[in-house]
Amino acid sequence: MAFQQKLIEWFEKNQRPLPWRRHYEPYAVWVSEIMLQQTQMDTVLPYYERWMKTFPDVKALAASDTKKVLKLWEGLGYYSRARNLHAGAKLIVEKFGGTMPRDFQTLLSIKGIGRYTAGAISSIAFNQPDPIVDGNVFRVLARLFALTGSIDIQKNREKFWRLQESLIPPGQARDFNQGLMEFGALVCTPQNPACPVCPLQAFCWAYKKGDPEAYPVRSPRKKTVQVEAAALALKKDGKYLLRLRPVGSIMGGLWEFPEWKLARDKKITAHEKSRLTVKLAKKEFGTNGLAIKPVGKIRRNYTHHLETLDVFTAELSGTVQPKTRWKHVWASSRDFAKYPFSSAHAKIAKLL
């Protein structure tokens, strides 16, 4: 138990004063864990504070409309997280009277709550001995035990879950689980870990082997795909055309300016981008002789993709009827604040 107690002592002295740690209220822990998936702490904190002011409890979130939920999430990315939080809150109100369940298996029945999040709520909010393994925990355990299996392979990941569960000290799941994550964030970092001053140095096999940054082991990364795309802000009578991405699609429930992919792993000229955009606009809106002009470029990254999005505008004189079945509206720039956009399209709105 020497390693576990050393870690808990370190956590008690060095933990960051995060807002959900004030009372460990289950709803607050749930919201924080969902926001922290795929997102850095510094980015999450202002979003968390705004969210809790707007939706202070499960019932307030359940009673809100989806548009308001997504607008508050705007810029955090991975918008299915927000939709699942909303759906989960409704289920908790309907099935559990607005009280977050304590049981791990029951938590798994709530939309958007998987193995990690259920373990986080169970152990952090209720101090129950359920494991949680995130990127920080993978790294800390891989180094402490010099584990050589790639963490990108599922059977190897299962070993980490079993190991982490076996290490939880009785009655101390909350501090131990948070301690592992916090230690990975502050001391056992991906690059340049603080090994010379590490309080767990005596327990660390990677340190003894002399190469802690070799852990955790990962499979070779996939090649990044270069994508060229275009977005078109069609303006008529002082209003812009927006369309709603259907729920179930990528970024479903968000509004956007019409957008098209133009090329993959192929550079195309500015003239070719304009030509293709005019051609695609004609196909979708039936516009002829559309005069478009560039207003900027936006770069965005998503899973193994690096995209350059060229933004164009065009004034319309006649009527257009989008051929897509997606819902669409005409909105003034003042109205943009009412519509939830992805990060890229929020930047387009700002450009306009």
Angstrom distance (rounded) from CA 239 to CA 179: 52
Q: What backbone torsions phi and psi does residue 34 show, to the nearest 5 degrees?
A: -65, -45
Tell me the DSSP string of 43-104: HHHHHHHHHHHH--SHHHHHHS-HHHHHHHHTTS--THHHHHHHHHHHHHHHHHTT-----H
Residue 173 near residue 123, CB atoms below 8 Å: yes
Q: What backbone torsions phi and psi does residue 233 show, to the nearest 5 degrees?
A: -95, 100
**Encoding tokens for residue 260?**
């098209």
Angstrom distance (rounded) from CA 135 to CA 129: 20
Burial of 215 (0-12, 13-18, 19+ CB in 10 A): buried
Catalytic site residue from 33, 74, 228, 256? 33
- SS3 (DSSP) at 230: strand
Angstrom distance (rounded) from CA 295 to CA 123: 50
Q: Can 33 be counted among the known catalytic residues?
A: yes
Angstrom distance (rounded) from CA 328 to CA 314: 17
Residue 135 near residue 160, CB atoms below 8 Å: no
Residue 13's contacts (CB-CB under 8 Å, 6 or more residues apart) are none
Angstrom distance (rounded) from CA 179 to CA 189: 14
Burial of 155 (0-12, 13-18, 19+ CB in 10 A): exposed
- SS3 (DSSP) at 263: strand
| Active centre residues (catalytic) | 33
